[in-house]
Each structure stands twice: as C-alpha cells, then as structure tokens.
Amino acid sequence: MKVDDKLLRRSLNAAIDLSVIKKEGYKDKTRNFDESIDLIINVKDVNLNDPKQRIDKELILPNNLITSDTPNVCVVASDEILLEAKNLGLDTLENDDLVKLNNEEKKSKKKFVKKYDFFIVEDKMMPNIARYLARFLGPLGKMPKPFPSGYGIVSNPEDLKVAVERYLKTIRVQLKKQPIIQVKVGKKSMDKQKVFENVKTVVNYVADQMPHKYNNLKSMYLKTTMGKPVKVDEEFLESTEV
C-alpha cells in the first residue's frame, strides 16, 4: 500500500481525537491516564514458514516512548553493574536470585519473564541466563542479544546507562505466526510530531524487511489504548466524523 505522510498525520490526529469520550449533552472527557498510541500493520503475501520472512527485532525509535525515567527492565548482574542498576532504581537479579528462581515452579518462571519488557544482562552472566531462563525468554523474544542485533548485554556500568537510555525509545517488532504487527509508537501526552516520526520509522523498517517492500503492506491502523482504531485510508477518514 502507498504510505503518504499527510495521510499518516491525519490518521494519527483522528486516533487521538477518537480517544476523547463524547456524549451528547455532556462535556467531552479524557481518560484519567496517559493512553499509549499503537500502530497495527497487516501484511500480505509473506510466507511466515520461511524464517527469513519473519521479524524479531529490537528497534530504536527517534523519540522516547516512555515518559517515566526508567523502562520496564530487569538487570541481571553483579558487582559494579549491579550497584549501578540499583542506583538507577531498576529491578535486579543476582546469581543467587537466578538459582532460587530456577528452583521455582515453571508457572512462576513464566510469570516472572512476562513481567518485564526487556532484560539487560552482564556479559559474564549470560551462561546462567541461558541455563536457567532461555527456554522462557526465547519464545517471547526477550532473550538478551549483543550489539548490533540487540542491546541487552553489557560489560560495565557505562554500557548499562547507554542500554537504559536506548530502552526508553526501544520497541520489539515481531512478525512470526500471524501476518500482523502491533507496536507502541507513543503516548497521548507526547508531541504529535514525535509520535509521527516514530510511526514513520516503524512503517519504513517493516516495509524494508518485506520481499516486495510497501506492496506487502495490506493495511494499517492507529489507535489509543481505549480509543477506536483508525484505518490509515482516505475513504475511512472521510467516513469518520472527527
């Protein structure tokens, strides 16, 4: 499908407008939390049985997605890196914690892994991660990867700081079993231009991974957490009262 900047901007504006609760005779209301903005891309003519046509990538966007000071990560480390992680207010695991976690029920380990968006691991502790958690992290695409394919393995406190800064603007783009990609591209509180730049980055990246580029993009939608989905389409926008 053709991806036009003007159409993308109009669709983004419409998605934000439709997140407002409107009821005749009452004042417009906004929800009492900062809604996320999601981009949904449906792809076509892609063979997901071919590993080369699947996507599992940590993608750094131009602008921060996270409005808090820290992303939802768990740092597995020791010594100086562990201390730095605690100073940054991040959740941490030491080697003894890993051993204790390994002794817990499978259900508990799955729950723990799902709790975090990303895992940052000190390089020398990767063998233990592989031993204790790889079978739970792998299927979710959360296994830490070294640069340049990922940013989850660090070797010193400075690397940790850089990784945290990256994760403030990192998303995981996955195309595996179903021909659909859904990712967060911003928050309602963000400047619209910054959200737009994030959207464009994702669209261009996904198209670049496709065998026939933009021709493999079947349809796209933008929506807020609680809002109605807006199709990135001229006819749809014309029929939508916003």
Neighbours of 153 (CB within 10 A): 20
pLDDT for res 23? 66
In the chain, where the domains are located: 5-65+170-239, 73-167
User: pLDDT per residue over 214-235, tens digit each?
Assistant: 999 999 999 999 889 999 999 9
3-state helix, strand, coil split of the chain in percent (to 5) is: 40, 20, 35
Say if 5-65+170-239 and 73-167 have the same CATH topology.
no
| Inter-residue contact 93 to 132 (CB < 8 Å) | no
Overall CATH class of domain 73-167: alpha beta
Q: Are strands 73-76 and 36-43 parallel, antiparallel or unpaired?
A: unpaired
**Integer Cα distance of 190 and 65 in angstroms:** 9
pTM of the model: 0.82
Domain over 5-65+170-239 is classified CATH 3.30.190.20: yes
User: pLDDT per residue over 31-87, tens digit each?
Assistant: 778 899 999 999 999 999 999 999 988 899 999 987 666 788 999 999 999 999 999
